[in-house]
Structure 1
């Protein structure tokens, strides 16, 4: 390509070696780590121990190991504390708004998560050394300590702890901010309502204590057992594709930092699309279409070796443009060296090496962002209120397998086949789309309260909850 100097290439190599994902096997060979398994047996105990240890080859490697011995526990603690407050933030925001705006508040909060990822790519492009980058990213989080004084406590939590005076103070402050006034009668009615809810919660807790064990209830219900076994599969696929595409975006042709920022920014319209379509088109059509379109984009990306345009139309355009430039250059050498021709040639090269592959990648990430926003709603609506948190947490917990295995995909691309990550992403999305079709539609259906109500979700006629109430009143 015209206009690319040796200095630019060295700078690109420096970028890849500082803040981008490295090939894990290559790094292992470079550091000359040797993993050896020692089998030792004890004659008295009649069993063996397997011990895996790292043997440094020289003194420098031993010094590096001792110097970074506390890095891994520190990173693990950082990840634990960071992800521990994400649910608290979500609950705090949704409790501050009314039921009418909770979905919008959740979508807005998720969108700001994507904005943070875009800022991460921009800061990483400006601050190359990873140690300095870590300090720049984590130092501003000290400002969140001020939230202890800026944010108010949850009114629902205060009512559940029978701290009615504190709850009334928070509500009075909120009413004053909106130009309203909380009367004493309203505060007394709120206290009476909270007492009734507390007594009802205690009654339900006593009933749950006498109810059979949750795994036994699931095993007795064939529809619920099928949902409990199937829902973790699409959760694994969702986390695997979502995090895997973000990690592999830096390996696309072009500027890795710009690619990462583009791939994370495309999540925002994806979340907004899910917000507008879930209540209009339904849960199953949105999820199935998003999964399958994501699979189509991933399989299409596999047929772009080297992230180069391979379609006949684009090849013809690029070939004809470059041939025209060469013919004019043969006629006039000054024309070939002009700035405008260099610019055109660079633009054609960028189109060949980057545009189509990045477009396919962005559409795939856009679709998986829709899935991320919809899968939370759809999974929660499949389970009864009595056990919704436990069953939802089970699906989400098993789904973390996808986020655990996603960082391994760059190494698979380097050691096995460069198209293997996209093939895995597309296969998982294709399978999950079929599994979604096996689930009932939950749009417009009342949330089930019991196992019996949950079994009847998606059936024709009145909702399961209304049907149960009608049968109870007839008795």
Structure 2
């Protein structure tokens, strides 16, 4: 439901940081990279069996017309959670879904789903850019955490703790301040602090202890901000893509993001040959550029997830960063076939589902 969207999105990041700590333990005990890769590969084998345990998304099944399959999964979820499954509410949901299909009979699949409207294209391109830059920045900064301290294992451990702290802060603020303002704040501050490296390196003596301390503080702040924006964009993008094209949209963003991660790690090698801190300046510059484009995205907190591209068209894009389009009563009613909208409008009792 809408109340659990943030938790289900951020809990992935907690395990991500936890995985870094597990990796650190393995790397400390296994010093051969061949044996380390083998051990990590063996550790991942049990996760293959999750395919037989994790159910398909009921929301996705309903959007594809697999109503009986979705009902079976929802009934199973209700049984496991000790909740009451409201058949009437589910029947109403299906009737509304069928009305929507009759209203928009032409269906698109794959990438064509994201090319149905100008607003959807703008959001898709914008999110791809945001993911590209966030992976460029996150992995570029994270690769240098081993150089924070003399002992690379302790430095990596400190970097993982800073990352975990960023996820906790994101978890605390996203439902209070929304998605867009915290994201824009994290990205803008990253760009700002990245440029502090220039005066510190240019104006302070080379072997100054104060310079070393200031650079350590800047690196910790950059890691914190990069981790925070990295976590938010995963949640934000999932709430901006409609159900009928969410898999395609996130898949496209993830593919583009991999190029960002590759370029980020290469930048630490190639650009550092020009100047040791040149990569940080580049990361800061790209962050300041992308935050401008992020301001046109609509706010998504406490709003029903869009089911179709037509829902995205109703939401639209916005400017400036803190102002979102207000839906009219008619537009809200047009989105009333969303099961999430119904849960926002009429919260169920504690032991009810659907």
Q: TM-score range by the shorter chain?
A: 0.7 to 0.9
- Residue 129 (structure 1) shift: 1.3
- Residue 117 (structure 1) shift: 0.7
Structure 2 residue corresponding to 1:250, chosen from 146, 152, 162? 146
In the alignment, what sits opposite 1:217? 116
Q: CA 1:469–1:414 in 2, change beyond 3 Å: closer, same or farther? A: closer
Structure 1 residue corresponding to 2:15, chosen from 112, 116, 120? 112
Query: When the two structures are superposed, what TM-score results if normalisation uses the length of structure 2?
Result: 0.72
- Residue 237 (structure 1) shift: 0.8
Check the 8 A contact 2:179/2:236 in 1, yes or no: yes
Larger RCO (CA within 8 A; separation ≥ 6) = 2
Q: CA 1:119–1:163 in 2, change beyond 3 Å: closer, same or farther? A: closer
Q: How does 1:374-453 map to 2 (within 5 A)?
A: 374-384=232-242, 387-448=245-306, 450=310, 451-453=312-314
The reply to whether residue 273 of structure 1 matches residue 180 of structure 2 is: no
Check the 8 A contact 1:381/1:447 in 2, yes or no: yes
- Residue 434 (structure 1) shift: 2.2
Q: How does 1:230-309 map to 2 (within 5 A)?
A: 230-252=126-148, 254-303=150-199, 305=201
User: 3-state DSSP class of the match of 2:143?
Assistant: helix
User: 3-state DSSP class of the match of 1:357?
Assistant: helix
In the alignment, what sits opposite 2:351? none
Q: CA 1:202–1:416 in 2, change beyond 3 Å: closer, same or farther? A: farther
Q: CA 1:249–1:309 in 2, change beyond 3 Å: closer, same or farther? A: farther
Structure 2 residue corresponding to 1:468, chosen from 288, 306, 331? 331
CA distance in 2, matches of 1:412, 1:439: 33
User: 3-state DSSP class of the match of 1:464?
Assistant: coil
Q: CA 1:310–1:119 in 2, change beyond 3 Å: closer, same or farther? A: farther
Check the 8 A contact 1:118/1:261 in 2, yes or no: yes
CA distance in 2, matches of 1:471, 1:133: 54
Check the 8 A contact 1:447/1:465 in 2, yes or no: no
CA distance in 2, matches of 1:465, 1:391: 27
The reply to whether residue 134 of structure 1 matches residue 37 of structure 2 is: yes
Q: CA 1:430–1:203 in 2, change beyond 3 Å: closer, same or farther? A: same
Larger radius of gyration: 1
User: 3-state DSSP class of the match of 2:150?
Assistant: coil
CA distance in 2, matches of 1:428, 1:238: 9
Q: CA 1:401–1:134 in 2, change beyond 3 Å: closer, same or farther? A: closer
User: 3-state DSSP class of the match of 2:144?
Assistant: helix
Check the 8 A contact 2:195/2:284 in 1, yes or no: yes
- Residue 293 (structure 1) shift: 1.5
Q: CA 1:272–1:253 in 2, change beyond 3 Å: closer, same or farther? A: closer
The CA RMSD measured in Å over matched residues stands at: 4.1
Q: CA 1:289–1:432 in 2, change beyond 3 Å: closer, same or farther? A: same
The reply to whether residue 368 of structure 1 matches residue 250 of structure 2 is: no
CA distance in 2, matches of 1:231, 1:254: 38
Give a deviation string over 1:305-339, Cα, whole Å, max 9, x none.
5xx99489x95xx5xxxxxxxxxxxxxxxxxxxxx
CA distance in 1, matches of 2:296, 2:176: 20
Query: When the two structures are superposed, what TM-score results if normalisation uses the length of structure 1?
Result: 0.56
Deviates more, 1:209-218 or 1:266-275: 209-218
Q: CA 1:281–1:112 in 2, change beyond 3 Å: closer, same or farther? A: same
Structure 1 gap ranges (5+): 1-97, 176-181, 319-350
In the alignment, what sits opposite 1:162? 69
Q: How does 1:42-81 map to 2 (within 5 A)?
A: none
User: 3-state DSSP class of the match of 1:364?
Assistant: helix
Structure 2 gap ranges (5+): 337-354
